[in-house]
Structure 1
Amino acid sequence: MKNKQPTSVAPEACRISPGNADPAVACGPCAEQVQMGGDEVSACPERTIAVCVDDFGLNTGVNAAALHLAEMRRVSALSAMTQAPEWEDGAARARLLDSRRIDVGLHFNLTQSFSGAPALGSVQTLIAAAHLRLLPKRLVREALLRQLDAFEEEMFRVPAHVDSHEHVHHLPVIRDVVLDVLLRRYGGTLPWLRVSAAPAASLSGGLRSADGRKAWLIDHLVGAEPFRRRARSLGFVANRRLLGVYGFDATESGYGSLLRRWLRQARSGDLLMCHPGSLAVGDVISRGRCVEFAVWSDPHLPHLLRELGVRIAPLSALRAATA
């Protein structure tokens, strides 16, 4: 285990001014319900959601961004890739975070290769193999056990939640293994599970937009609802819906607009995923990570949250809202 002095600084590689997004977007007068693109959204009272940084451990820029936003109280959860090169260093810093404010969980990975940890295949390959029941359960189980071991070895505790890279934990075969392993391993202290079910408003555009197509694929082809039903039948708790799906290609103002839309759609118990970071060689979405970090670290964001009646809290604190 690495023993470095824990520090957290904003990613220096992102030189994007966070001042472009207009924070002064209000819900209007306090009302019981407002309509947003087919979803009823509470404008008052306050809604409580979780905000999770994915890919923690991937590189130093992702780690720095995640820890900085955690200290700013802009996010409430980190999902860790325990095979990634900067996981041990990130874990040493994550252990110092207040676990009452920040949940740290496992970002189960089967689709991205790291040194000494080859992927089982691309997400497209896994989707096909899983639906055809050609994916060996043994390989999935071994990968999950190794990653859980690596998490516990560095964090000295069990994961607060479990989700996955590219949402593969919803797939047939994989979901059976995930639920079985977690039940056997953790018993009465089951982790929170992510269900990547999109709001109706995100799906209402259907195949007319790239973001709508991506949300539809995650919700339907990967199998969010079958996973939710099976998990709940076994006693697991999950988030209500997933916000934050887009193509990682937005400008800063564009992502700011998306964030405002997601916050307006939000209901208590929802989970908003984000991927902040800095420019990094080999990270194909690093420009998008810079944009996300700029928006999430914007000094006006707390004002926007207050205007829209949204409070950010850990996943574990939302169990009562989603049970």
Structure 2
Amino acid sequence: MTKRLTLCADDFAQSGSISAGILQLLDAGRLSATSVMSQSPHWPALAGDLKARARRADIGLHFNLTHGFDTPAKPLSHWLMKSQLRQLSQPALRDEALSQIDRFAEHFGQLPDFVDGHQHVHALPVIRDALFDAILRRWPQGQRPYLRAPDKLGHPGDNRLKSLILRSVCINFNEQAQEHGFATAPWFGGMYSLSPQADFAGLMQAWLARAPDQALIMCHPGLPASDAEDPIAASRSREFDYLISDAFGEHCRRHQVEIGRFQPAAVAA
């Protein structure tokens, strides 16, 4: 039986090379979603290219607190510690979420189909409440974007400790999101070390085999680039090469996987 998976490329608009790679994969039908870093100075110029592909893919917001663009950003360690200690300002975080949502919509012409987070910050305590509040202030009554639930991680990739930490710091996110009326995928995959030595093709085959129908898998492809500000640039090009290849298409067929847009109603049913 064929199963439908949403394959989402993170970090659209972080750089030109990342965005160009994602656009090529969307055109090839190898992705069905991408999430946008709307703070990026590249976003206004790239929004039109993505809008032209909106019928074939879900376009979401990649909520960001850790990657600096025009202003410095705090590292993930800061948000991990402060969120667990509940030492964050929810109103300030809500305003930041509203700013990123509004900048997305200003250039894309509509609200995001979904929201996830750079380094999963959207699912941390306090931050998640601020995000829920921001979404309720912007979306019309009865409408919601779907959300990525990192605590539904179903495969540890090549780093069990990293996956254990992710699930623990995001605990109960899925339950709370659904209590607020948000749809989430029942299974999440794509977590790994992001090392260029990692066997991404082998890991993807494991995710394709393990994932149930309506699962969500993230990836981080991009075209080759010497970007000193991107610590995973080498891994991005390896991911791109595999995802564009005939081998990936064959692996999807072997595991009876159809790459398609997320269907919240099917998940909720």
TM-score normalised to structure 2 length: 0.94
Task: Show the counterpart of 2:39.
Answer: 83
The answer as to whether partners of 2:183 and 2:267 remain within 8 angstroms in 1 is: no
Q: State the percentage of identical aligned residues.
A: 32
SS in 2 for 1:197: helix
Question: Structure 1 CA distance, aligned partners of 2:265 and 2:72?
Answer: 35
Say whether 1:263 aligns with 2:208: yes
The answer as to whether partners of 1:133 and 1:172 remain within 8 angstroms in 2 is: yes
Say whether 1:108 aligns with 2:52: no
Say whether 1:239 aligns with 2:185: yes
Give ranges in structure 2 of 5+ residues lacking alignment: none
Query: Structure 1 residues 202 and 319, CA, compared in 2 at 3 Å: closer, same or farther?
Result: farther
Q: How does 1:170-249 map to 2 (within 5 A)?
A: 170-186=123-139, 187-202=141-156, 211-221=159-169, 223=170, 225-249=171-195
Give ranges in structure 1 of 5+ residues lacking alignment: 1-44, 204-209
Q: How does 1:295-306 map to 2 (within 5 A)?
A: 295-306=242-253
Letter in 2 for 1:74: R
Distance apart, 1:118 and its partner CA: 3.1
Give the aligned length.
Answer: 266
SS in 1 for 2:159: helix
For the pair shown, which has the larger CA radius of gyration, 1 or 2?
1
Letter in 2 for 1:114: F
Equivalent residue for 2:113, pick from 160, 163, 182: 160
SS in 1 for 2:172: helix
Please tell me the root mean square deviation across aligned C-alpha atoms, in Å. Answer: 1.6
Letter in 1 for 2:163: A
Letter in 2 for 1:143: E
Question: Structure 2 CA distance, aligned partners of 1:260 and 1:214?
Answer: 20
The answer as to whether partners of 1:240 and 1:322 remain within 8 angstroms in 2 is: no
The answer as to whether partners of 1:269 and 1:322 remain within 8 angstroms in 2 is: no
User: Which 4+ stretches in 1 moved above 3 angstroms?
Assistant: 198-201
The answer as to whether partners of 1:276 and 1:290 remain within 8 angstroms in 2 is: yes
Question: Structure 1 CA distance, aligned partners of 2:217 and 2:45?
Answer: 25
TM-score normalised to structure 1 length: 0.79
Question: Structure 2 CA distance, aligned partners of 1:276 and 1:247?
Answer: 14
The answer as to whether partners of 2:151 and 2:172 remain within 8 angstroms in 1 is: no
Distance apart, 1:201 and its partner CA: 4.6
Deviations 1:25-80 (A, max 9, x none): xxxxxxxxxxxxxxxxxxxx111110001000001111111100001110000100
Task: Show the counterpart of 1:8.
Answer: none
SS in 2 for 1:146: helix
Distance apart, 1:199 and its partner CA: 4.6
Query: Structure 1 residues 178 and 270, CA, compared in 2 at 3 Å: closer, same or farther?
Result: same
SS in 1 for 2:137: helix
